A and B are shown apart, each in its own frame.
Chain A
């Protein structure tokens, strides 16, 4: 099975900062990489699918890039409402795997 290594596990940044999270797959997954946001007590919400496509209704400060094994998720200007845990998710051969998550806090 494909393993996903997500880093960092947590970060603290100021409002307006650029925030970057990375996810590395244990083997080539093409662009089958998604990013989700989960706020406390809530279900995850899809933000980015297929590595770089912004889900409808999601603010443009969120973006994703990468292909193969290395992927990046960016918040261009951190807002107070972005406080959450972010997860990457890969798809390969009918199976899915989530990364370990990144908890984003305001400094």
Chain B
């Protein structure tokens, strides 16, 4: 069965960096895009962008350029989200979510599997 398992909660000081992992299993990792979604406390869902797991090419949503980096290690079917120069307003739950079919190009434009979420807390 398809599973996305994320790394555990993080407590970081302002200015530090954090790297969240999302390990996929139950399907061919490089066949589907991986998306990242942020949810600040008590707020809605914000799409951060996606990474092509075949080419490694990332696409960032507006507001998530510069300090946010998506990366991959396809040898262990894992996607990463790194956030640098952390600010208090980065405090949120971060989700990975499986997206489009990039192998066949089949028009699949929805997120059918999600990780359990990783809480990143930024506080001095």
CB within 8 Å of B: which residues of A?
Answer: 1, 32, 34, 36, 38, 43-46, 49-50, 55, 85, 87, 89, 91, 94-101
Q: Which residues of B contact A99 (CB under 8 A)?
A: 44
CB distance from A91 to the nearest CB of B (A): 4
A44 near B110: Cβ-Cβ < 8 Å: no
Identify which of B47, B95, B112, B116 contacts A46 (C-beta below 8 A).
Answer: B112
CA distance A34 to B117 in the complex (A): 20
A43 near B45: Cβ-Cβ < 8 Å: no
B interface bracket (residues with beta carbon within 8 Å of A): 20 to 34
CB distance from A69 to the nearest CB of B (A): 17
A44 near B62: Cβ-Cβ < 8 Å: no
CA distance A46 to B99 in the complex (A): 11
A-side interface mostly: strand
Q: Which residue of B lies closest to A38 (CB)?
A: B45
Q: Which residue of B lies closest to A97 (CB)?
A: B47
A55 near B114: Cβ-Cβ < 8 Å: no
A96 near B114: Cβ-Cβ < 8 Å: no
CB distance from B47 to the nearest CB of A (A): 4
Which residue, of A32, A43, A45, A91, has the highest number of chain B Cβ atoms within 10 A? A43
B95 near A44: Cβ-Cβ < 8 Å: yes
B61 near A43: Cβ-Cβ < 8 Å: no
CB distance from B28 to the nearest CB of A (A): 19
User: B15-49 vs A: 1/0 string, CB under 8 Å?
Assistant: 00000000000000000000101000000111100
